[in-house]
Every structure is written in C-alpha cells, then in structure tokens.
Structure 1
C-alpha cells in the first residue's frame, strides 16, 4: 500500500502543461536480503481536468507513471528533496524538477516494447482535446518508467543520512542576517519529534530537535505556512501551531544562540530572538569566521557553583545521567567531582550524551556536571548531585533511646526533706 508523503505543483508557461507530483513510499516487491525494504517513488498527473485520470493504484491511469527513487520532498521553485529508508536509517537527497520532468518525457515505459501511441502516457493535452483509450490501456499495464532520477550534488550522493526514520518533511527558504538565503528542512520522525536541519556553506546541520507532543504521539500531518512562518503539526487527537524560528528552544545566552547556527535566530538585547522581530542581531553561520564575538563566560572545573539538582539513588541500582546534545560541532564531557568520566563523539548522529552507572556504589555518589565546549566556549548544561537514598530514610533495627526517668512529686519532696535534715 502506498504511503503518501507530499504533493506539489509545477507550473509551465503553457497552462495545460502544469503538473502535479505525488511523492510516496511503498513496499519493495524485491524481497531479497540485500534489497531495501521500502521504495520511494514520484507520480505525475496533469493538472487541467482534461489530463486528470482516475486514481487507482497501482495502475494510475493516463498521466500517472511511476519512477523509482528514494523518497521525496519539495523545495519551492527549485528542487525536490528525497528521502528513503536504508535499513533502520533515512537518507535525504535533492533532486531537480527539471530532471524529473525530463525522465517522464523521454524515458521508455518499463516492460513496454510496443509502438508509441499518438498521445504518450504522461503527456498532457490542451483543454478540448481527448486522450485516446489506447494511452490509458498502456499506462494501466505499464505504470513505471525505466530511467531513474539521480540526485544533485557531488557524487550524486544524499544530502545527508542518519539513524532516524522520517515520516513527514517540509522545506522553507529564509533570509539570514548575512543577506544569503538558506534552505531549512523540517523533518518529522517516527518518535513524534521534529528535526530542524539547515543547509550551511560547510554542510548540513541538525540545529535543534523539538518533541512536539509530551507523550510522543506519532505525527500524522505537518503543514508549513510560509506566509506566516508557522508550522502546523497534527497527531491523532490534536493540532499544534509552532513558530518556524523556534528560537526559544536555545539556551538564553549569547554563545548558545549564535553557535546554534540557525539562520532564523540571533542575539540581541540580552535574548535569542527571531530576525523577524529584531534587526542588527549577532549571528554567525560560518565556522571559519567565528571568533567569539560574545563576551567570555567560561566555566572551569571546581567552580561549578551550588545550583546542583539533588537526586536520591538506592545503592546497587542502575542510573543514567543524560545530557542533551544541542550542537553537533561541540564536544560533550561528563565530570564526577572534577574528574572526566565520559566523553561523547558528536560526529556520529546521537541525540544525547549518556553516562551509565550499572551498579551505584559509595564511590559513585557526589557531584556530576555535563560540559559542552565549542570554539573555546564552555558551559555547564546539566548539574546533578547523587545522594544515598538511605540517608533520607529512618534507620531500622535500632531501639529508640530510652526516655529520661521521671520521679514522683512525693518522692521528690521526701528527698528534699532528707537533704534539709542533713544540712542542719
């Protein structure tokens, strides 16, 4: 069964040549072990009524021929980005609408060796003309073209790939403070979160991950409102509106805001703000030109401050220390009483830096700090103090202290009389 991802329109100078493209995924009929589980495809329909055929997968009719590619997404006016599942991962590619249109126009139908009809499958006809029934028959029996569309970019390789499985995609172009325009991708995962990915001069960066629904509800729909710069995300029970800039997701300090390398956001007036709300903000999207324009506010071992979060942990239990990775250009380290206990390599995609204690013992209690470092800027992201839970519980097996003895009032009076006689 096809799983639809996106639909978009491509306009031509001649109105009857306007096309609608449907991007979808389906199970791979090739069940061999080396074959991918899913195949991503694009189908074409003529937009004018005369060119629209019945919708009946897998034989889609006159103008719905299929070509094999690995998942699809759209970038307005220019390109189409494509993703596909590779094992348990996803790959995102960029394709040219011109290349897609050329494949539909020039490629032979897969498995068809007969003569070409007067109107070829995939060919749009002007209003008032009719498509011969022979064209419908050929398209229904041979709905796929032979040629494949190759992605753009060096080596015809994916724009990026990682371990997440993406379900929905949207793309927006935004003008940054340097005057350049950047493509920003919004990718919905199968875990109910959204990745905001930016095409930067030196590569692609996942700048932030937003967990949309607290209960990790699957995202069933995602729509970008380019005019209002908002993102509508729907689950099975509700719809939320999110700002495309998402500047509030970054830690409210200059270094975190600028080092996020988000073209929507910059530092101004003591806050991380959207460029739509403030001009002349401090922003940097190139690693080479960054020289630390923010004021220095380093952290050093042994000077973490006192604002630790106290955590009571039962001896011999397991415990995870979790530090969210905010930048894939930074290094993340866990320290225990100023001693390094864990380093995380952010060159490989991972959402968090974990330090796992399989069995908590006396030497594991104390102060833990997760520190990120990027371009000379260091900051403490998580500070926890592990404490023995037994110190918070009443101790058992020990008899309560005996109360002090109390004397009867008459006995006290008798003792006083005896003392008085002795003194005389």
Structure 2
C-alpha cells in the first residue's frame, strides 16, 4: 500500500505545507520482508555510452578481465578492471535496406564465442546479419570480418524475442523467421552437427527465456540442452492466466529424423510445465521472466533459479534441480496419450537419431508434453515472494568463514536497484538493497564470481558493483554478524571480506559468537545493561517553550525495532524514509531533558543517537519576540531550522500503521 505524509514547517508561529513525501519504496521497519541495509551509488567502476542504448548484450569471461558489449552499430571490448576500451568494432548496417527510419540501425543481439572467433549478430536494418570478428594483430587492422546471413539467429527488430547458446562448437538459437516476429523456433543453426529445428505445433506463441547445456562428463552421449520459455495458454477461461511456463529438453546428439520422416527435426523434444506457486491453493506464478543455472560437479545437483511474475503484481523465485526435471521427463506419462509407450521411450538420446523407430518419433511429434508438472524443491510455496518488480536474477556461491558454501541471489528491480538475498536453508534473508545511480530498468547483468563483482548494464552506462561491501557493517562485531552476509566477517581489522579466522554466523546471525570482554570487544555500541545517560553521540538543542520540534536518528538496519527513550517513558519511532522521528507538537517543561534513539535487533540493543533538549528563554515583548525569532532562525539555521519540521501526529501515525 502506498504511504504518504504531509510535512509542515513552522516559521514565526505559522504552519505551511511544504512537501508531500511518497514512501512507496521505503521498506517497513522490523519486517523480514525488507532489506536489512540500504545503500546508494556504491560502484567500483563505470563506463558511459556516448549515445543512449535501447538494447545491449554482454559476453563476459570470468577467467579474463575482458568483456564484450554489443550495442547499436558497434561491439566494444572492455577491460572491466577500469572500464577502458580495448578495441571497438564498428558494425553499421550493410546492404540495401527497405526499413523505416527508426529500424535501419544494426542493433547487436547475439555475442558468442563460436569456434575460433567472436560470433556477432545484429538486426542490420531488418535484414539479420552475422559476423565473425577477429581482434587486430600487431595493431595492423582494427578487425577482420567474415559475414553470414543471420535469419533464424538474430531477430529483425531488437524488441523481438531471441536467445542464443554455444555448445562445443555448435550454435543453438531461437529467433523469429518472419519480419513480424512470428515463426519463433529453437534451432541448432550452425556448427559441426546437423542443423535441426522444431515442429510448429510443439509451442504456441512462445517467449524464450534461456537455454542451458548441462554437461555429463561421464556420459556425454546423454547430455541435454534445456530450454526455458513461456507460451500462450490453450485454456481461454477468463480466470486462467494467459501464459504457462515451460521447461523443454533436446539431446545434444540429436541429428533429426530419417530422410523419410522428420528430417532435420528434433526427434528428442519433450516439454513439461514449470510450476511455481502454492499447489494446495492452485495459485501459481505463471510468467517466467529470467533463469540462472548453477552447475554442480554431479550434474544431478545442477540448480535452476527461476524468476516469475504474476497477474497480481507480485514476483517470486522458485528453485529446481536437474534431477527433479529429469525424473519428470523419464517417468511421467505423456499428456493425451493412453496407449503403450514405444521402445525406446520418446526423448531417449541415441547416437543415431535417424534410425529411431517411427512409433517413437511419431509420439514426439504428436505428444511431446508430460502429464506431470515440474515442481520446485520447496514444493508447497516459492522460495521467495516479493512485491518488487524484479527483472533479472544471478546467483553467486560464497564460501563462509567456516568453509561452508552459501548461495546469494542478486535480483535486479525495474528501478535500478540490486537486492542481495541469502538462501539460508529454506528461508530467504534480504541482506541489502543497493540503489545504483540510474533508476531505469537494468538491461544486462553478469556475475564475476571469482572477483565477487556484478556488472550491470543500463541504457546510458555500465557499472561494476563490489559484492564485498563490508564497510557498511563496520560499526561493531554485532553489526557485522547480524548482517548475515557471507561475503563479510569480523576480524581484528573490522568487518572485512571473509577469511577463515573471521567471526560469522550466516545461518542465524547470533551475536554470541562475538567477543564479550571490554578488551576484546572494542565496539561503539550499547547493550541492555548500559544506561542512556552517557554522552555517546550527544547532540544538544536549545528550544523555546511552545514551539513544535522533532528529533531524528538514522536507520542503519530495517530489521531492527527503534524506540525513543525519555526519562521513564518509551515511544515508538515514526519512520520517514531512512530516518526515525520523535515528534513534539509544542514544547512543554516535561519535554526537556535527555532522549535516546535505541534500536533492538534479536538480542542486540544499541543507542543510535543521544539528544539533550534545554529551554531557550524568549523575551516577552512582541518586538523582542519577533527579533528573537529572526535571530533564532538565522543563527541556528544549520541545526535548528530542520528541527522546525512537524508531521501532524494523528496523520503520521495513521499513515505508518498502513
């Protein structure tokens, strides 16, 4: 629910409305659904485009510092350490084009390492084209290029759906075959193996999201390519979601059918419904948005993180294993088929697919869908649900101080934020939110797990985000441990990138792991045993009787509960964006004295801010009062005028309760 408050400013005895502050994007205090820490503009590198880019695509190799960026009429080779241009490949539209002015550009949509070169494809003014790019040798030339027809590899317009994947020298793609974006198929389009494509009836108006090869080192002939997509729902009931999410697979060794039947068609294509939601309530997130695949030594344990949206403006992350996906494809009945299943079972990988029996291929042709659905590993509910509109996901694996491995989800919002979410068993923990400089939609996002950096692409710029921002929890051992950030641990140098001897409790965030003696525990914080009268971070204000006044303290953890302590009384914090307020409508004698803003999180209590309010005597005559008010305003502008802001108490309390 949108929250807002009206802010009034007091000046010379009058109240005026000066600002209406929207709090829609402000996290709720004390809620586990809020990010614990908010930060802004924390980047470790940046590259600005000369011209605004409607579409960009990245190719990034963690083993080098090089990244290729495809934009409009160019490919850049960047050094991600300092984001300087290593090389620029200009790729203007070529040939005679019959295109409208706004679509005559060459927008790059495919960048893949393919065979011995960089394989690049672009819209080329609605005449799809591909090029092999070779970096310059001895600075003799900028590039050497070979050109190829790109139909079926890259779309006619960048707004059309497309994906690409290279596997052992073969190129797999999905791109429209027609100028209107239709006839969209997943194909093996180039390489050492036979070109193979889909049967039209297998999918209905698909939107392809991702394709992934799952390697089986001990059994390469049974390796599969998995395709994740959503397609139009055949159920036209008004209450049914118009989309259904799918996972499909084909065999890497599939060469298509015989010359008599299904030649150059996939003979191993199968698909199943990918379910994310609440099965017991028949409530599902049906619109697949993004996929991240985390490989494992044992291919069965390869993990798929899937990002979904819903018709009720909510997003969810569900987690699947290849073991569970394979179990459905290997054991489920075939939807709509009630006869004996032929041998070999449809979808089986064979070295010579052209020799498959007609009955097996016919079943793939007519009944490719599994009856059973692919459920997530948590089954009864998604792993993570949020009202944020997430658009992209990557997942990093982090080794903690105790050598245990933890997965951290990095989720991009449509307003340029990155949420860092810990996968702690079956429960998510939202570690932090980072607002980048740009507040537009993130176009591209690549993880560098080795350097622990996230490369984020916007229309106007590229940022490198350091994932080990431990300085944000550097106040004390307790702050560092409560963060539950596996990238960070407490050491004698403060909160630092995780080392084996560091202090951490990633699973529970219990501060009992911190040192307890005064000598060991050199932290700037307070515990429940400490009094509130100490001059810790003390601010003194002299305030006249009868004037409105407010106190504020910064929120450093949105998982904490904040309270204002004054004498023997406690009052709740009134949250305004990233501050906690205490409002005094009119100063009275009982309002003077010491105030402490106290935060409590789990079993950790600390004083964030201390104030002392003393009475300022105002002359009684009218002229003196006016002069005194003016003098009071001018001479205390930096410290006091901000204190004259008053949020009407009844309205503020009502708003924050919603």
Structure 2 Cα separation of the partners of residues 137 and 97 of structure 1: 26
- In terms of mean alpha carbon deviation, does 242-251 or 178-187 score higher? 242-251
Q: Is the 8 A contact 2:232 2:242 kept in 1?
A: yes
Aligned: 1:11 with 2:215: yes
Structure 2 Cα separation of the partners of residues 8 and 183 of structure 1: 20
Aligned match of 1:209: 433
Q: Is the 8 A contact 2:561 2:600 kept in 1?
A: yes
Aligned: 1:96 with 2:327: no
Once the two structures are superposed, the pairs formed by residues 3-152 of structure 1 within 5 Å of their partners are 4-12=208-216, 13-25=218-230, 30=235, 35=240, 39-48=244-253, 50=255, 63=269, 65-70=271-276, 71=288, 73-77=292-296, 78=301, 79-86=303-310, 87-112=312-337, 122-126=347-351, 129=354, 144-152=369-377
Once the two structures are superposed, the pairs formed by residues 368-383 of structure 1 within 5 Å of their partners are 371-379=598-606
Aligned match of 2:501: 280
Q: Is the 8 A contact 1:196 1:207 kept in 2?
A: yes
What's the CA shift for 1:100?
0.3
Aligned match of 1:173: 397
What's the CA shift for 1:237?
2.9
What's the CA shift for 1:151?
2.2
Q: Is the 8 A contact 1:44 1:66 kept in 2?
A: no
What's the CA shift for 1:33?
6.7
What's the CA shift for 1:11?
2.2
Change (3 A) 1:284 1:130: same
**Of the two structures, which has the highest relative contact order with CA contacts closer than 8 Å and spacing of 6 or more?**
2
The TM-score normalised by the length of structure 1 is: 0.67
Q: Once the two structures are superposed, what CA deviation does each residue of 1:329-367 show, in whole Å capped at 9, x if it has no partner?
A: xx32153868654359xxxxx99777689x995569999
Structure 2 gaps of 5+ residues are 1-204, 258-264, 277-287, 516-520, 542-547, 613-628, 636-658
What's the CA shift for 1:117?
6.8
What's the CA shift for 1:148?
0.4
Aligned: 1:326 with 2:557: yes
Q: Is the 8 A contact 1:23 1:73 kept in 2?
A: no
* Partner SS, residue 274 of structure 2: strand
Change (3 A) 1:17 1:370: farther
Aligned: 1:342 with 2:572: yes
Change (3 A) 1:96 1:201: closer
Q: Once the two structures are superposed, what CA deviation does each residue of 1:113-152 show, in whole Å capped at 9, x if it has no partner?
A: 6786777654433257467898777656655322101222
What is the aligned counterpart of 2:466 among 243, 262, 267? Answer: 243
Change (3 A) 1:128 1:31: closer
Question: Aligned pairs, how many?
Answer: 368
Q: Is the 8 A contact 1:324 1:351 kept in 2?
A: no
Aligned match of 1:410: none
Q: Once the two structures are superposed, what CA deviation does each residue of 1:39-85 show, in whole Å capped at 9, x if it has no partner?
A: 43322233346269xxxxxx998525242323554333223233433
Structure 1 Cα separation of the partners of residues 225 and 510 of structure 2: 43
What is the aligned counterpart of 2:512 among 291, 296, 303? Answer: 291
Q: Is the 8 A contact 2:537 2:610 kept in 1?
A: no
Q: CA RMSD in A?
A: 4.7
Aligned match of 1:270: 493
- In terms of mean alpha carbon deviation, does 256-265 or 63-72 score higher? 63-72
Change (3 A) 1:335 1:240: same
Structure 2 Cα separation of the partners of residues 136 and 326 of structure 1: 59
* Partner SS, residue 50 of structure 1: coil
Structure 1 gaps of 5+ residues are 53-58, 311-316, 345-349, 395-424
What's the CA shift for 1:111?
3.7
Structure 2 Cα separation of the partners of residues 308 and 202 of structure 1: 44
Q: Once the two structures are superposed, what CA deviation does each residue of 1:90-110 show, in whole Å capped at 9, x if it has no partner?
A: 333332211101212333443
Change (3 A) 1:118 1:293: closer
Q: Is the 8 A contact 1:117 1:135 kept in 2?
A: yes
Q: Is the 8 A contact 1:333 1:370 kept in 2?
A: yes
Q: Once the two structures are superposed, what CA deviation does each residue of 1:286-313 show, in whole Å capped at 9, x if it has no partner?
A: 4386416242621764657557699xxx
Change (3 A) 1:287 1:62: closer
Structure 2 Cα separation of the partners of residues 215 and 22 of structure 1: 32
Change (3 A) 1:256 1:169: same
